[in-house]
A and B are shown apart, each in its own frame.
Chain A
Amino acid sequence: MSATDTPRVLSSRIVVFSAVGAALYAVLGLVSFAIPGTQLVAVRPAFALVPFIGKRFGPIAGFFTGFVGNCMIDQLQGFGFLAFWNWSVAVGLVGAFSAVLGAKALRHSNEVARIALTAVGALVATAAGLLFVITDMFIQGISFETFLVGNYFPALISNGLAVVILVPVLDAVWEPLSRQAGR
């Protein structure tokens, strides 16, 4: 198998949903608003797309949506796709983790339980994936306290809000459509 051969798991469906997810995150991700009383903490509603795509379309689509989508946002804003590469990896990991954590919720027949599990799974995936920004300690030379108080918690709170509110709604809307499509 050569380096450019592709694994069988990467179906055309995953390719397309990965690309659509990344494009959606890149475009909607430019809409954000600051939390009053903070300086650099912004709520980005589109962040909810990452765990949603991960849960519905698998870890590759989830990682691609988060990683490439975040790179695209940085690129469109002018920073270049590598300036905050560790944050892009972190967002990608959120998508990949939510695929693993969301799989259980997908099998649940009770709708209320499924919604609750979806929200909790997405929040846990967000908390776990964003831990990767601990690499800022080596990249920016910040202390552990600053990573925790200045980077991790603000990002977790702002993105957690978007995830808890929007992922269950997106999932509930997509559920009947997905059944209709027989997926």
Chain B
Amino acid sequence: MDVTPRYLGGDSFLGRRDPRVLLLVPLLYLVAVAGVGDLRGVAFCALFAFVYYRAAGIPWREVRKNWIFVLGFTAILVVVNSILTDALTVTARSPELFTVPLTGSVVSMATLSYSLTIFIRYVTLAMVGFPVAFAVAPNDMGVAFARLGVPQRLAYAVDLTFRFIPSVAASVRETIDAQRIRGFEHKRKGNPLVRLKSLKPVVIPVTVNALVEAEDTANAMDLRGFGGGRRTWLRELSFGPADYLVVAGFLLLAAGMTAAEVLGFSEEVWIP
């Protein structure tokens, strides 16, 4: 289990940007695609997402498993919700293409168009999300959130979360090994209740140990006067021309797509 944040796109165009840019872009992109029901509209947004993702320079072989999971999960979600069942509320009328046996779900061109829209929306959201995971130095997270206006202590908590992840992961591995020596084996088949109970020997000690150690960390922070005054950060962040350009591009995209939605250009499902 490798959960340690990986800094794969450090030398890329996005890796050299102010980390606040990489946190703001997914937010702006979410605003842009949130209410878009038109396949052409979301495809237009996808172009921005694709160029942005390529600018992160994340090596494919390093994130292949992540992409397989994202594409697989999203495909299942969309197929189950739209093709196999009538879960998606597609109001646009179009000729019926076929009926799914057993479920009786009617599939039309509008259903397929809207399903593809949802699929592209989630996949492109992952595209703009990947650089946050792989092109922002983990130790820049705290200062980036603080400089975005998040209260200093909450920003520090985000920073601490990233710092704790490797040690918690190591503690999980150690606990599993220690419990195996005592005869523990996680049940991989059978009743979910039994499987859930079988995880107690791992979840309980890992949690309690982490919390006991956290008491020490909190005491150490108090002794060093944490929160006594306004916190400063060693890392200085500053927006350069390229940073402004990237944010402005996505700001325009978000504003344009929102305006198109308000004016009724992108809300309706597109039927080819």
Contact = CB atoms under 8 A, between A and B. Distances in A.
A7 B152 CA distance: 10
Interface string B178-216: 000000000010001101110110011011101111110
A12 B133 CA distance: 26
A130 to B, nearest CB: 18
24 contacts: A6-B152, A10-B153, A12-B222, A19-B161, A20-B213, A23-B164, A23-B168, A27-B1, A27-B165, A27-B169, A27-B172, A40-B76, A76-B3, A78-B133, A80-B127, A80-B129, A80-B133, A141-B118, A142-B89, A143-B87, A143-B89, A146-B85, A165-B196, A170-B203
Contact of B210 (A6, A20, A146): A20
B218 A17 contact: yes
Q: How large is the interface on B (under 10, 10 to 19, 20 to 34, 35 or more residues)?
A: 35 or more
Q: Interface majority SS on B: helix, strand, loop or mixed? A: helix
Given A3-B149, A12-B222, A77-B69, A146 B81 contact: yes
B118 to A, nearest CB: 6
Interface of A: 3-7, 10-13, 15-20, 22-24, 26-28, 30-31, 33, 35-36, 39-40, 43, 45-46, 48-49, 52, 64, 68, 72, 74-83, 85, 139-143, 146, 150, 161-162, 165-166, 169-170, 173-174, 177, 181
Contacts, number: 221
A72 B122 CA distance: 17
Contacts of B67: 78
A80 B26 contact: yes
Interface of B: 1, 3, 26-27, 30, 34, 37, 63, 66-67, 69-70, 76-77, 80-81, 85-90, 114, 118, 122, 125-130, 132-133, 146, 149-154, 156-161, 163-165, 167-169, 172, 188, 192-193, 195-197, 199-200, 203-204, 206-208, 210-215, 217-218, 221-222, 226-227, 230
